[in-house]
Structure 1
Amino acid sequence: MSGYRVAVVGAAGLVTQELVKILERRGFPTVSLRLFAPDRFASHRALVDHRDLVVEELNTGAFEEVDLAFFATGADVARYYAPLAVKAGAIVVDLTPAWRMDPEVPLVVPEINAADLRTHRGIIASPEETTVALTLSLYPLHRVNPLKRIVVATYESVSSAGSAALEELSTQARLVMEGRTVVPHVFPHQVAFNVLPEVDVFLDNGYSRGEWKLVEETRKVLHVEGLLITATCVRVPVFVGHAVAVHAEFSQFLAPEDARKLLVEFPGVRVLDDPGVSLYPQPWSAGGTDEVLVGRVRRDASNSNGLALWVVVDNLRKGTALNAVQIAEDLVRRGQVPEGGKRHGKVGAPSNSDGHPVQ
């Protein structure tokens, strides 16, 4: 057998489109590629990266002939079906929040903690887009000068809320320019020409779920359980590209020029940092890039051991789809993806105390 039977679970939305495109462009070894979606989205054809694909109905028997399954759907769907895929013999790379904080599930940014793949039990989680950006921009520094505290503000494009959000921003911008009334549907308020300090629902602790996910996921990816982090996540009227303003305190002094050198040398990071010619990362220029872009590296004037950075990522690409494909590529290199239903290594869906799969 010369490749893998791959499934992508999720209607043909923005992330699914990007996943299929990246699998094709990077030459991932596939012998078949199938799309699955819940019944209300299934039984139709979808044009994905110039390929006419049938969207099949997702059911409990969907994974009988699948080696590798990407979940780019709702968390509830991933929570129920991922263990069934593992039970059928597939390896799951989950792009949803469903399994990220499960202690038995590795949460992986391959450039940082690919070694965590050794302990997977069939499901591997890919982090939130802003987590990918934050951890990749700080890990090259953290590994030589441990982090003590992070203060972060994110500026998140609407595309992470799906294609309906893109349409809403476009429509609202036109209506505002025409002087007409805007009625929001995807977001709680008008997003065009506006800024919303609300990414996901608010929690009892005062943080939004988006902010708290960033806190918890960063600790897990960096393997620093007690790391002090506070975050404010903001939705901005940008179509694609998330930006992150980072203030990081380290154990010792770290000069900006030394930080830039460490970042330049680290895979998955590109430094754009020359304020004299207005060179710095921007969401529009990050589109279609495979790296996390870092600039505005400077001393934090309020902290002798602190640095400030400006970070941008294509949230649909490296922030989501590319990171998931890189996880799969690492699994293949390690011989951890079964071919033709053959099981390799320590594989078994996370389960409840009674031994039944978590649903």
Structure 2
Amino acid sequence: MKKYNVGILGATGAVGQEMLKVLGERDFPVGELRLLASSRSAGKVVDTEKFGSVTIQEATHDSFGGLDIVLGAAENDISRTFVKDIKASGAVYIDNSSAFRLDPDVPLVVPEINPEDAFKHNGIIANPNCSTIITLVGINAINKLSPIETLYASTYQAVSGAGAAGPVEMYAQSEAVMKGEPVEKKVFPYQIAFNLLPQIGGFQENGYTSEEMKLQNEGRKILHLPEMKVSCTCVRVPVERSHSISAIVITKDRLDLKDVSEAIAQAPGCRLVDDREKNLYPMPLDTSDQDKVFVGRIRRDLANENGINLWCCGDQVRKGAATNAVQIAQLLIAQE
């Protein structure tokens, strides 16, 4: 089997570490593995079960020669700094930042939904926002039955979505509250323990946050539905891992609930968890550290006859970021 030289830009972050883990789990045919990070991490050794011991290198403009694929797990500014170098090296850059998602020349890909778009790249493929991926995987089967015209969504996003320091702060605050001690706030603007924060991202002129607008802007591009309307509220919740989404999907045609459930049960990347008699439905604890999006609570919307109401959960570090990027890489090598 042909092997590929793979780099991970931002290898020491939560998503970068998960990318390394997923590459091993999926037996990706890696020749050379190049872990790239800041100068602070350079020289450290990462021991992996699949790839042995790998020394972290400082990311510089000369770091990408000889690589076939670069998985990006760095912030927007880092991604923009090195994108020309990656393209010049001949590698394909699969970027998890938001830097290029809405660039018309850069495909935005969820392999279960629009795999064909991955092959239209010009050296860069963008990985969508985590909540966008989880939501769209959960509702794509509905869109195949009848085009989605409107989507109302509320996301309940885990603290790990803010980085590795998010869970640390949540647990430290929880302990402080239980002891009656002052709560320290560094990662989040307000106490997150025993609380909800209805803001993720900065507020825009229309009153929505940057995170909330991603579901519409990215969703339209991925689903090829340029007129789809989305109204979204994003909430940070005191859950360690896995995002949850309440979605109301308004389709062009009125759909039968049985057909919807059957389509979701058979949809790639989905698992139907919907049994009212046994009180079974998706929950963050059940969806963490795996790659499926669990979908349940499927019911008729009471305000719109063409509406379907559902609840879905998925691991935002894996399917919402690392796994999706590795899946895109798998698409590319499968065509060679």
| TM bracket (short chain) | over 0.9
% same residue: 39
Deviating beyond 3 angstroms after TM superposition, the runs of 4 or more aligned structure 1 residues are 46-52
CA distance in 2, matches of 1:27, 1:46: 18
CA distance in 2, matches of 1:226, 1:279: 35
Aligned residue in 1 for 2:114: 113
Aligned residue in 2 for 1:14: 14
| SS of 2:103 mapped into structure 1 | coil
Aligned residue in 2 for 1:33: 33
Give, as a single letter, the amino acid of the residue that structure 1 aligns with 2:20. V
- Aligned Cα root-mean-square deviation (Å): 1.4
Give, as a single letter, the amino acid of the residue that structure 2 aligns with 1:173. S
- 1:110–1:326 contact (8 Å) kept in structure 2: yes
**TM-score, normalised to structure 2's length?**
0.97
- 2:11–2:17 contact (8 Å) kept in structure 1: no
What per-residue deviation string (whole Å, max 9, x for no partner) do you get for residues 169-192 of structure 1? Answer: 111111111111112100111111
Q: How many Å apart are 1:38 and its aligned residue?
A: 2.4
CA distance in 2, matches of 1:122, 1:307: 38
- 2:281–2:296 contact (8 Å) kept in structure 1: yes
Query: How do 1:140-289 residues align onto structure 2 when only pairs under 5 Å count?
Result: 140-289=141-290
What per-residue deviation string (whole Å, max 9, x for no partner) do you get for residues 111-147 of structure 1? Answer: 1101112211010011111111111122111122111
State the number of aligned residues. Answer: 335
Greater Cα offset, 47-56 or 299-308: 47-56
CA distance in 2, matches of 1:317, 1:287: 8
Q: How many Å apart are 1:202 and its aligned residue?
A: 1.6
| SS of 1:151 mapped into structure 2 | strand
Q: How many Å apart are 1:66 and its aligned residue?
A: 1.0
What per-residue deviation string (whole Å, max 9, x for no partner) do you get for residues 217-265 of structure 1? Answer: 1111001111111100000000000000001111111122110011111
Matched, 1:76 2:77: yes
CA distance in 1, matches of 2:56, 2:207: 40
- Call closer, same or farther: CA 1:141–1:321 in 2, change over 3 Å: same
Give, as a single letter, the amino acid of the residue that structure 1 aligns with 2:90. G
What per-residue deviation string (whole Å, max 9, x for no partner) do you get for residues 186-211 of structure 1? Answer: 01111111000111222222111110
CA distance in 2, matches of 1:185, 1:48: 32
- 2:149–2:227 contact (8 Å) kept in structure 1: no
Give, as a single letter, the amino acid of the residue that structure 2 aligns with 1:329. Q
CA distance in 1, matches of 2:23, 2:333: 13
Q: Give 5+ residue unaligned stretches, structure 2.
A: none
Aligned residue in 2 for 1:299: 300
**TM-score, normalised to structure 1's length?**
0.91
| SS of 1:112 mapped into structure 2 | coil
Aligned residue in 1 for 2:42: 42
Larger RCO, structure (CA 8 Å, separation 6 or more):
1
- 1:11–1:41 contact (8 Å) kept in structure 2: no
Q: How many Å apart are 1:334 and its aligned residue?
A: 1.5
CA distance in 1, matches of 2:233, 2:268: 27
